[in-house]
Structure 1
């Protein structure tokens, strides 16, 4: 392949790092799908091309279907222009393939949802503004929330679709009976994450919507149904894979970032952090070791965790979700200073009965607690997140990763450990957490270990793993729902 044949890079070279490190995420409003959709009976998703809805709002669309809303997906073009230099698939054949993929994807994402094709020209939505306005307006009523691409997403078709959707909603609001609420409008982002910078995002308009575990899982599978985008058409130049892992990274955050249009109600949002803390404390009603820390699984998991550490000794270590401190004590043997953090005060009461030299116990919740474990000059060499992140929502995981990066010294290490089996009554599970973290930190991956019961991954931030990543292929996962 010559330099002239090399396709342009679609993702930003700094990837998710530049977004993770922006502290304005901690200031944005966030809610779950129920909070956002409570005033509506229909969700109308406007997509310029097949797959836009998965990339920009997949978990929210899936959760809307589960909440019983009438979900309608209006795809404005068939995406026939996705591979303009393909030597194997022409525009007409590409349109046929992508229509089929859109149907299969939506059946996974939102079973029972309606799919409508406007069949407008790919790359030519701007001149067809009035056609798009009519197509959207015909589907609106007072109890409809419209999701459309942002008007500054960075792709001409996306921008045009967003402008037309906004105009259609404005017309519907103007025609609504006096005192009627009228439809709502929110914009999602696709290409913006790759082509823009954090200062370009209107943070004051941002609403983050956490996805449920089922919504996150279905959104991931729905993306994979778009075969023409996630896999190469052939080995020949012009048939390259378009949606690489780097391009897909923002869609794997597990939450949807919306920009609410003026006049669309902003939900107040809820936090369940107090409920979680009380639940962890209640586990100690039956004894001092609710996690069975002397079981073979727990002992072996601790040994595996210590075995993947890249250094023989560390200066400063943070163990998030330390519980009664079984792993913390193992870390203390290889560290000068260790901070053990847990949201359960009763767990820490047990931990304090045996405190090795150099260990300090801190009561608090991630991510907020990470901001008060030392000053900015007191950097951390290692952060261990063992069986803690799946108790958080996807946005809380994102904020915890952001706070972790802020605390790490250059070349600092992040180790992630999780139970691999299904969970119940908590926001996420081990595979979902590891997929989200991997998407955000992939460039720094060093070790990935997967077996029947446990997943372990380590990342050395500032030292890209590349071909040096140790990848131990996963064994078959066991079955059965287990809560940890």
Structure 2
């Protein structure tokens, strides 16, 4: 979980603009609302929907799309030490502000879509404790038809935003719905030059009418953009520099097309797969898999590695081969079912540690610059493009100078996932590492890159 404080100065809007946030590719047509197609907007607290998606809401209504806004909490914990306002006071005030803000977004033209909203009443800051009830509420609320879901970015750094965003992603994937995720606190804590995932997101340029409507709506949230009183505990929550991120002439979204999966569904998808078929890719019986492992091991530039990581170890077949060439090996997978089989297979190898984690956001907790080898085999296409960029960046950070990054991927179509093997390897080339090994066949591509700064191995 990212740690930040709203009182910190944070990353300036000028830094984002200088890095090119205003030049992102447009939201694709299938990610835009149109006449008669419902827009379901999810918000953790009153004002999230205004900050992140008010322009989208206004333009959807003008296009004749019905919009339903669901706010999970009343945001009553925004000023926890206020001497003048009890949580119940803040809940009442923020509900009124929400209604006023949404009213400011209505275009009042013929054939405009209808805007409705509801508040679920979960306690502010507690969404992670009520995921079952919250997910059931989301399923109930999804309108019939070709709905487009809009939700907080699932890795925004605020526990309520992350919980709601992850649930929205799961529901959208289960129902084959398009998903637009809007970042809020990400703009505050992320550094554009160090975290490249934003470069894969999309921009919705707001026309003057939508921009004016958004500004009117933001003004309605007075409890957040102005002091509650003169007491220090009642100081303004959302300061001017933070609000500058939402005064752009555009809104930024992470788009997932209907039917595509990413890391958010990895555990449930692969646990189910391994439960049905313990060896779904025939690692144990396929001559092709056996030969590919042999090529992988034979391609390693060094005879032995002191420290190594295998990202996506599955049932541990390649892990066992790597264990013979390493002193310390950390092997990671998103599936607990697969890891149970790997644990049984690797009995008697105490230098191998198995870790249950969903990449890239749950990257192994190792010190930067300490790994001599990182293996990414057959998992890159199970990530969205921004997730792959983040994973590769973290691999590069983990590698010691002179360390090796090994990628090996199937070259045929991968259905239901965002990328293919060629795209995965193209992303790795953007790291600027030295190419050490290239092996291409009709079925797979294997490449090994070396981090600069090390001596000959």
Q: Which residue matches 1:248?
A: 243
Q: Which residue matches 2:170?
A: 167
The answer (yes or no) to whether the contact 1:33–1:211 under 8 Å persists in 2 is no
* Distance in 2, Cα, partners of 1:202 & 1:46: 22
The TM-score normalised by the length of structure 1 is: 0.49
Q: Which residue matches 2:146?
A: 143
| Range 221-230 or range 17-26, more displaced | 17-26
- Do structure 1's residue 195 and structure 2's residue 189 form an aligned pair? yes
Describe the shift of the 1:213–1:95 C-alpha distance in structure 2 as closer, same or farther (beyond 3 A): same
The TM-score normalised by the length of structure 2 is: 0.51
SS at match of 1:69: coil
* Distance in 2, Cα, partners of 1:55 & 1:211: 13
Describe the shift of the 1:229–1:33 C-alpha distance in structure 2 as closer, same or farther (beyond 3 A): farther
SS at match of 1:114: strand
Q: Which residue matches 2:156?
A: 153
Q: Which residue matches 2:13?
A: 16
Q: CA deviation at 1:17?
A: 2.1
Q: Which residue matches 1:224?
A: 219
* Distance in 2, Cα, partners of 1:92 & 1:84: 11
* Distance in 2, Cα, partners of 1:142 & 1:44: 11
The answer (yes or no) to whether the contact 1:54–1:222 under 8 Å persists in 2 is yes
Q: Which residue matches 1:233?
A: 228
Describe the shift of the 1:34–1:201 C-alpha distance in structure 2 as closer, same or farther (beyond 3 A): same
* Distance in 2, Cα, partners of 1:32 & 1:165: 20
State the Cα deviation string for residues 167-213 of structure 1 (Å, max 9, x = none).
2222323xxxxxxxxx2111001111001112334246411011121
Q: CA deviation at 1:55?
A: 0.7
* Distance in 1, Cα, partners of 2:147 & 2:249: 24
* Distance in 2, Cα, partners of 1:67 & 1:25: 24
The answer (yes or no) to whether the contact 2:11–2:189 under 8 Å persists in 1 is no
* Distance in 1, Cα, partners of 2:28 & 2:7: 30
Q: CA deviation at 1:142?
A: 3.6
* Distance in 2, Cα, partners of 1:241 & 1:113: 29
Q: CA deviation at 1:78?
A: 0.3
Describe the shift of the 1:119–1:255 C-alpha distance in structure 2 as closer, same or farther (beyond 3 A): same
* Distance in 2, Cα, partners of 1:129 & 1:14: 31
Q: CA deviation at 1:12?
A: 3.8
* Distance in 1, Cα, partners of 2:196 & 2:36: 27
Q: Which residue matches 1:47?
A: 43
* Distance in 1, Cα, partners of 2:129 & 2:55: 31
The answer (yes or no) to whether the contact 1:189–1:258 under 8 Å persists in 2 is yes
Describe the shift of the 1:24–1:16 C-alpha distance in structure 2 as closer, same or farther (beyond 3 A): closer
* Distance in 2, Cα, partners of 1:189 & 1:232: 24
Q: Which residue matches 2:124?
A: 122
* Distance in 2, Cα, partners of 1:124 & 1:143: 31
Describe the shift of the 1:43–1:264 C-alpha distance in structure 2 as closer, same or farther (beyond 3 A): farther
* Distance in 1, Cα, partners of 2:36 & 2:16: 31
Describe the shift of the 1:39–1:260 C-alpha distance in structure 2 as closer, same or farther (beyond 3 A): farther
- Do structure 1's residue 90 and structure 2's residue 93 form an aligned pair? no
* Distance in 2, Cα, partners of 1:224 & 1:101: 9
* Distance in 2, Cα, partners of 1:148 & 1:137: 14
**Count, aligned residues:** 249
Q: CA deviation at 1:9?
A: 4.5
* Distance in 2, Cα, partners of 1:132 & 1:250: 29
Q: CA deviation at 1:19?
A: 0.8
* Distance in 1, Cα, partners of 2:28 & 2:104: 21
RMSD: 2.4
* Unpaired stretches in structure 2, ≥5 consecutive residues: 108-113, 261-457
- Do structure 1's residue 79 and structure 2's residue 82 form an aligned pair? no
The answer (yes or no) to whether the contact 1:39–1:143 under 8 Å persists in 2 is no
The answer (yes or no) to whether the contact 2:151–2:168 under 8 Å persists in 1 is yes
Describe the shift of the 1:189–1:156 C-alpha distance in structure 2 as closer, same or farther (beyond 3 A): same
Q: CA deviation at 1:43?
A: 0.8
* Distance in 2, Cα, partners of 1:132 & 1:29: 33
Q: Which residue matches 1:176?
A: none
How do residues 259-270 of structure 1 correspond to structure 2 at under 5 angstroms? 259-263=254-258
* Distance in 2, Cα, partners of 1:11 & 1:253: 21
* Distance in 2, Cα, partners of 1:24 & 1:224: 24
| Range 247-256 or range 138-147, more displaced | 138-147
* Distance in 1, Cα, partners of 2:221 & 2:10: 24
SS at match of 2:234: coil
Describe the shift of the 1:196–1:203 C-alpha distance in structure 2 as closer, same or farther (beyond 3 A): closer
Q: Which residue matches 2:361?
A: none
State the Cα deviation string for residues 400-454 of structure 1 (Å, max 9, x = none).
xxxxxxxxxxxxxxxxxxxxxxxxxxxxxxxxxxxxxxxxxxxxxxxxxxxxxxx
